[in-house]
Structures are given as C-alpha cells and as structure tokens.
Chain A
Amino acid sequence: MTRTWVFAVAIAGSFAATAAGAHHSFAAFFDPTKSVTVKGTVTAFAFTNPHGLIAIDVPKPGGAVEHWRAETNAPVILERRGWARDTLKAGDVVTLRGWASRDGKPYIRLVQANRADGSVIGVPFDSSDK
C-alpha cells in the first residue's frame, strides 16, 4: 500500500494562519515573505464574499494619489475576528499592512489594520484563530 503525505508549502509560518480558502489561490497570488504597509483614506469597504475588500487612497509627495486595495478574508472569518460590515466607512484614515501581490499591483492581502489613533481593528490575521 502506498500512501504519500505531501505537505503543502503554504503551511509554513504565518501564512497558514491567514490564507482563507479563497476561491482564487492565495499561494499563487500573494508572497507571504513580502510585507507592504500603506496609509491612506478609505474610499470603500466591501463586506462580501468571496473576500472583503478595503479601497484606500494613499497620498504621495507632489500631490499624487495611489489607489490601493486590500483583500481580506471572507466575512464569516472577519466576524470571528471582531470585524463587522460597518467597521470601516469612507473617510476613515487607516494603516494597512499585508502581503504583496506577486504581480506587483497595488493590491495586498490584509494582515493588520490600524485606525488613525493607532488602535488595531479586530484581531490581526497573523494571530492564532480563536
């Protein structure tokens, strides 16, 4: 009898604590070794499946604005981590830290969100899932 256990590369480290079974493959889209942090103003917050999404405008020197998006876990997972559909609204200033999109787009997978006063929103996604 041959039964082979092959361990998913994705299991290693904090990645396993956060990949949410996305319909698109987390492992193929994001690089868990590259962390990106952006600060800006929320323009939209979608509390929907297959993933939640935060859109923010990030001011750059010279008056330019970059439009970043942070993909979150599915709402059912967000709720378990203390989020709600009204957690963010347009105009809120936030700092978002996440894993970089492998293709270099201004698009991250959210790990942690902080409000303007520094408070952490919900339970960060690299913590143990309770």
Chain B
Amino acid sequence: MRASLAAIAAAGLAFAVPAAPPAAHPDLSGFWGPMRQQHPVDAALMAKLPPNTAVLDDSGVAEFPQGEYGGLKLKPAALAEARKWKPEDEMTVARTCAAPSIVYAIQGPFPFEVYQTPQVIVFRYEYFDQVRIIFTDGRPHLPANAPHTKVGDSIGHWEGDELVVDTTHLAPATITNNGLNHSAGLHMVERYKLSPDRKRLMATEWFEDPAVLDNNGARYIQWTAQPGNHVAGYDCDPSFALNYQQGK
C-alpha cells in the first residue's frame, strides 16, 4: 500500500512539475551564402582538429592545380591513380554532371539552406542539388553494408554551441577535384557554429581515409547569412561537355 501511494505521489509529482525544456541549441536555420575570404579562421574551431591533420586551403573559389594535394600524404597506390588523371577526362557527357561527394562539395562557392528541428537538420545545397539529412535524435549510423552515396549517412549532436556532424557511407569521389579520390571508407566530422553576431556560419570539415591517406585532411569554411535569399536549382546539363569536345 505504501508503495502504491508512493507511486501515485510520484505520478502526481510528474504531472505537477513540467518536464525541463530541452536544452536550447543555436538555430542555424536560414540561407548561407559563400564568402570570398576564408581568413581569418576561427582559432577555437581549428584547435579542435585532431593531430596529424593537413588543413587544405582551397575552400571557396580557390582550387589546387594538377599534382597539388594540399599537404595530404597519399598512399602510393592513391598517388599513382591521381597521377593518371587528366583534366579533359572530366569534360565528357558522362562525367561533367557527376556530383562530387560532400567531402569536396561543401567547400565550394555555392550557397546552402539549413532547416532545423530537434530531431533532424536538413542541409540543402545548391551545388548539384545535394540534400543531407542529419539525424540528431540519437540514432546510430546505418549498418556497414548499407548503400553508400555522395551525401553519405550523417548523425549529429550538440557540444555546447557547436553542431558536430559525423558522416560515413560516402561513395568514392574526389577530394581535391584534380584526380585524388577518397575511398568508401572515408569518415568525416564537421563542426559548425555561429559567429557571435550570428551573421556568419563557421565550420571545420575533418576527414580520415586510411586506405588512401597516411595523414588526415581538413578544411575551414565559412558562410554569410543572407536572409530572404534562396537556393536555386542546379539542374546540371551534361551537354556542356560537348562544347569543349567540339573545340578545334
């Protein structure tokens, strides 16, 4: 009887005392446009990058020329493959609209939109119409044998004011847009946070791929808030490649 009363009292208490509201997280929602300047970087974010990491300074408009991999240490087989690459290989109807994975895509000079809920956060990119669903409901990654895609499988959590996104299941694609490709085993971790004035979104993208690299890679990326703007469709037209091929 005493136990029953205690249970009833506890139940009553549960009704009488509202559950504590979920911890308030920063709201990253909105349109984020690319910034021409990636410097200066956020030192606190950079300090959280793991050891043995080369930070590639090709975010935004810059790109590495042929043979430059930004400090990444390629395994011999990966280097041999990268050296076979020729720029004109990409200018074909079959290749020109082949989307890169988000390892390369998110740093480009294109905007994206964020839609945020407590359970999922959606990143909608203009570049190649890519969409990511980042689960923040505590679920684990997909089983290892699940399909790999160019956007992969992303789960996220908050560490203070930072959104931490862990991504696996990425289909092999370029890292530096010049012949260096990652494997299906690449693992990526991104950290996002707002600037104090909330006008910039800052991030680090870190990745490891032991099948391809002897060290790890990272980029620093930042975007500027542009309220009222929206992402346009990309709708890539592969016939673009024919114009190059027809040049004589």
Contact = CB atoms under 8 A, between A and B. Distances in A.
Contact of B57 (A8, A23, A29, A51): A8
B210 interface: no
B228 to A, nearest CB: 14
B99 to A, nearest CB: 8
A21 B243 contact: no
Interface string A34-76: 0000000000001011110101000000000001010100111
Interface residues of A, number: 47
Contacts of A24: 87, 90-91, 96, 177
Contacts of B97: 23, 50
Interface stretch (B10-18, B103-111, B138-146, B163-171): B103-111
A11 interface: yes
Contacts of B65: 9-10, 25, 27-28
Contact of B70 (A6, A22, A49, A101): A6
A50 B236 contact: yes
B197 interface: no
Interface in B82-141: 87-88, 90-91, 96-98, 100, 108-111, 126-128
B55 interface: yes
A23 B100 contact: yes
A8 B247 contact: no
A2 B68 contact: no
Interface stretch (B19-27, B46-54, B152-160, B187-195): B46-54
Contacts of B127: 21
The number of chain B residues touching the other chain, given as a range, is: 35 or more
Contacts of A9: 64-65, 68
A67 B243 CA distance: 10
Contact of A76 (B49, B96, B98, B111): B111
A92 interface: no
Contacts of B244: 69, 71, 105, 107
Nearest to B35: A129
B63 A8 contact: yes
Contacts of B208: none
A7 B71 CA distance: 9
Contacts of A46: 237, 240
Given A1-B52, A8-B68, 13 more contacts: A3-B51, A6-B55, A8-B57, A8-B58, A18-B61, A23-B177, A24-B177, A28-B66, A49-B236, A50-B236, A103-B88, A107-B243, A107-B244
13 contacts: A4-B71, A11-B62, A23-B90, A23-B177, A25-B178, A27-B63, A27-B66, A27-B178, A28-B63, A48-B235, A53-B243, A76-B111, A106-B248
